[in-house]
Structure 1
Amino acid sequence: MDCLIRTATNADAPAISRLIIGTLRGSNAQNYSSEIIAQVEQSFSPQAIVLLLTQRQVLVATLESDIVATASLDQDIIRSVFVEPAHQGKGIGRQLMTSIQSIAIAAGLDQLRVPSSITAEGFYASLGFTKNRDALHGSERTIIMSKPLVR
C-alpha cells in the first residue's frame, strides 16, 4: 500500500496523539497491562507530541491526507513507531522504517537502535534488527535491538 511519508508538523500533533493512543489500546494491550498502557499514554498527549517535534525527527505516513502511522529518529534511536491497527501488515511500517534508515545513513550513522515493545519485536526482526537485551522500566518490558547500517 503506497502512502505519502513526510515530516510531521505541529498541526499534526493531535492526530499523532490519537493514532498512538489508539494503537497502544488496540495492539499493545495484548502484551501489556492496562496500567502500563495508561502510563505510556501520558507521554503522548498533543502537547507532548509538539515537544517531541523539537527534539526528534518525526515522520508521518498519510493515506488520502489521514495520518495512519508515525515514527521518529532521536540521534541513532528509533522511537515511537506506531501504525493504526487497521493498516498494520500492509507495508506502511516498513516504508516508514526505510525512510528513517535513509535519514540515518544521510546523517552518517553506523547503526540504528530501537527499544522495541514485546508487540513489535517480530516486526523489527523482519527488518534485520537483532535483540541485544531486555530492559525493564518499572514493570514495562522492552527489547533493546540494533541494526548496522550499510552505506
Structure 2
Amino acid sequence: MKILLAERCDAPVICDIVHRTIEGIYPNYYPTEVVKFFVDYHNEEKIRADIEQNMVYVIEDNDQIVATGSIDGRTIGRLYVLPEYQGKGYGYEMMNFLEATVSKEYPTSFLEASLPSYDYYLRRGYYPVEYLKYEVENHRVLCYYTMEKKLT
C-alpha cells in the first residue's frame, strides 16, 4: 500500500471511487436528491482542478487506486474508500497521512462530515462545531456537520 499525490490522469479513477462510494452507501442515509447532489458536486472537473492544486492523494494497493483524500489548508476533504475495500484500514491510513500533513502547518484540522462518516470522525477525535442543513432539489435537505480536531 502506497499513498501518493494524485496525478491528472488519475481524475477519472478518483471520480469513479467517489461516485461508487456515494451511490453505494449514501442512499442508506439520504434521499435520492441528496445523493445526486453529492455525485454532481464531486464531479471530474472539480477533482481535476484539485489535483492541479496538489491537494489530492490516493492509496494504491496492488497497482490499483482504492481510496482518495484531499487537503485544502487545514481542511481535510473528499475521503472515500471503494465500498469493497472499506473496513480494511485504508481510510484509517489515509486519515493518518492527511492529519500528519495538516499538522505540519496547523494545530487543528477541520472537515465537513456527511451522516455516513460522522461516527467515524467522532472515533478519530473530531468534535462537532456546527450542524448544517442545505436544501437541494425537490426541497430535500442535506444534513451534515462541520468538525474539528486538535492535532498533536
TM above 0.5, one fold? Answer: yes
Post-superposition Cα deviations, 1:2-29, rounded to whole Å, max 9, x if no partner, equal: x211111101000000000000011112
Residue 14 (structure 1) aligns with: 12
Kindly indicate whether the alpha-carbon contact (under 8 Å) linking 1:77 and 1:114 is maintained by their aligned counterparts in 2: yes
Equivalent position amino acid for 1:110 in 2 = P
Kindly indicate whether the alpha-carbon contact (under 8 Å) linking 2:6 and 2:54 is maintained by their aligned counterparts in 1: no
Residue 86 (structure 1) aligns with: 84
Equivalent position amino acid for 2:87 in 1 = G
Long gaps (5+) in structure 1: none
Most deviating of 76-85 and 45-54? 45-54
User: Structure 1 segments of 4 or more deviating over 4 A?
Assistant: none
Whole-angstrom CA distance in 2 between matches of 1:60 and 1:76? 18
Write the mapping of 1:117-136 to structure 2, written as runs, cut at 5 A. 117-136=114-133
Kindly indicate whether the alpha-carbon contact (under 8 Å) linking 2:8 and 2:52 is maintained by their aligned counterparts in 1: no
Task: Indicate whether 1:149 and 2:141 are aligned.
Answer: no
Whole-angstrom CA distance in 1 between matches of 2:52 and 2:13? 17
Long gaps (5+) in structure 2: 136-140
Kindly indicate whether the alpha-carbon contact (under 8 Å) linking 1:19 and 1:84 is maintained by their aligned counterparts in 2: yes
Residue 44 (structure 1) aligns with: 42
Aligned length: 147
Most deviating of 48-57 and 9-18? 48-57
Cα displacement (A) at 1:141 = 0.8
Whole-angstrom CA distance in 2 between matches of 1:61 and 1:29? 25
Equivalent position amino acid for 1:123 in 2 = Y
Q: Taking every aligned residue pair, what percent have the same amino acid on both sides?
A: 24
CA change 1:56–1:119 in 2 (3 A) is farther
Cα displacement (A) at 1:45 = 2.6
Write the mapping of 1:52-91 to structure 2, written as runs, cut at 5 A. 52-55=50-53, 57-91=55-89
Residue 140 (structure 1) aligns with: 142
RMSD, matched Cα: 1.2
